């Protein structure tokens, strides 16, 4: 264990990982999403994609204790359940893709997914129709593949919810439920496939300390009356993170 802790403390870019995840915790606390969109591009600079996916999902599971109690009572559990179950079925496909692709390709895919999601949200894209069970299952399946491959469990679900007309409180609660379920399934899949080891578990525990605290701060700041402010801040932080993590900055591109 001491050797593992020494290896964790020697992790490349550890201060940046701590600061990035702490900032992401505030965004996650008051919007219900954003951790992976902020952390994955930055963490990809220092760590291999499978390690990034393991860390973001392990810390996501840890944050459930803060976010789930309130979200459970505010969410549409039927709708969230359909999305979560469909995602659980396709997560292994995403993890298989993660293990088969090279690191730079995965980082470009993650950056592309993030930018497309952010662009659609900032542009104000809206879908006013009703999505039935089959459509929900398709959305969940897409989220499972993307989440398993990149660690970005949120973009597909976030785009679906924020593109609609639901209130910010409902969006936040449903998103928390679905993403929590996805995190649990991805962690289990990574453990079964031997991707997660003691080093990653300890590193996740270290990262969880500031993340847990800032998630509670973000949740305490949440007020549905400030919906536009929340979304604006989240969009700006996500955009900055994805630009910072683009592979073009590696050794001059």
151 found inside a domain: yes
Query: Is the pLDDT score of 180 beyond 80?
Result: yes
Residue carrying structure tokens 């902020």: 38
Residues 6 or more apart in contact with residue 22 via CB below 8 angstroms: 210, 211, 213, 214
Per-residue CA distances from 173 to 122, 142, 159, 169 (Å): 21, 20, 15, 6
Mean pLDDT confidence for 65-76: 80
Q: For residue 167, what pLDDT is reported?
A: 67
Q: How far apart are CA 50 and CA 54, in angstroms?
A: 6
Pairwise pLDDT comparison (182 vs 153), residue with the higher score: 182
120 found inside a domain: yes
The answer to whether the beta carbons of residues 183 and 57 sit under 8 Å apart is yes
The answer to whether the beta carbons of residues 82 and 66 sit under 8 Å apart is no
Query: Is the pLDDT score of 158 beyond 80?
Result: no
Query: Is the pLDDT score of 128 beyond 70?
Result: no
DSSP, collapsed to helix, strand or coil, labels residue 196 as coil
253 found inside a domain: no
Structural domain boundaries enclosing 138: 2-248
Q: How far apart are CA 26 and CA 93, in angstroms?
A: 31
Residue carrying structure tokens 């976010």: 67
Q: How far apart are CA 74 and CA 171, in angstroms?
A: 9
Nearest to 223 by CA among 149, 148, 169, 173: 169
Pairwise pLDDT comparison (31 vs 220), residue with the higher score: 220
How buried is residue 202: exposed, middle or buried, by Cβ count under 10 Å (0-12/13-18/19+)? Answer: middle
171 found inside a domain: yes
Number of structural domains found in the chain: 1
Query: Is the pLDDT score of 201 beyond 50?
Result: yes
Nearest to 145 by CA among 104, 197, 182: 182
Q: What is the pLDDT of residues 86-125, one digit of tens each?
A: 988 999 998 888 888 888 888 888 888 878 877 877 777 6
Mean pLDDT confidence for 189-206: 88
Q: For residue 1, what pLDDT is reported?
A: 63
128 found inside a domain: yes
Mean pLDDT confidence for 183-208: 88
- Express as a percent the part of the chain with pLDDT over 90: 12
Task: Return the C-alpha torsion angle 225, 229, 235, 238, nearest 10.
Answer: -100
Q: For residue 20, what pLDDT is reported?
A: 92
Pairwise pLDDT comparison (126 vs 10), residue with the higher score: 10
10 pLDDT band (50/70/90 cuts)? very high
């Amino acid at each position: 264990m001491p050797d593992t802790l020494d290896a964790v403390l020697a992790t490349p870019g550890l201060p940046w990982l701590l600061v990035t995840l702490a900032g992401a915790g505030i965004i996650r606390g008051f919007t219900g999403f954003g951790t992976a969109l902020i952390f994955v591009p930055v963490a990809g600079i220092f760590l291999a994609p499978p390690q990034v996916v393991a860390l973001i999902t392990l810390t996501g599971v840890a944050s459930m204790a803060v976010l789930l109690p309130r979200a459970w009572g505010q969410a549409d559990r039927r709708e969230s359940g359909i999305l979560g179950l469909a995602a659980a079925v396709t997560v292994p496909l995403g993890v298989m893709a993660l293990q088969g692709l090279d690191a730079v390709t995965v980082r470009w895919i993650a950056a592309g997914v993030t930018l497309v999601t952010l662009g659609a949200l900032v542009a104000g894209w809206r879908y006013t129709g009703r999505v039935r069970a089959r459509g929900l299952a398709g959305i969940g399946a897409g989220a499972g593949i993307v989440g398993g491959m990149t660690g970005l469990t949120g973009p597909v679900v976030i785009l679906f919810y924020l593109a609609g007309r639901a209130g910010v409180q409902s969006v936040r609660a449903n998103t928390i439920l679905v993403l929590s379920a996805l995190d649990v399934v991805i962690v289990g899949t990574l453990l079964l496939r031997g991707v997660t080891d003691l080093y990653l578990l300890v590193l996740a525990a270290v990262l969880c300390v500031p993340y847990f605290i800032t998630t509670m701060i973000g949740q305490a700041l949440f007020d549905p009356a400030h919906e536009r402010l929340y979304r604006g801040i989240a969009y700006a932080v996500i955009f900055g993170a994805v630009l910072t993590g683009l592979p073009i900055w590696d050794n001059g591109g």
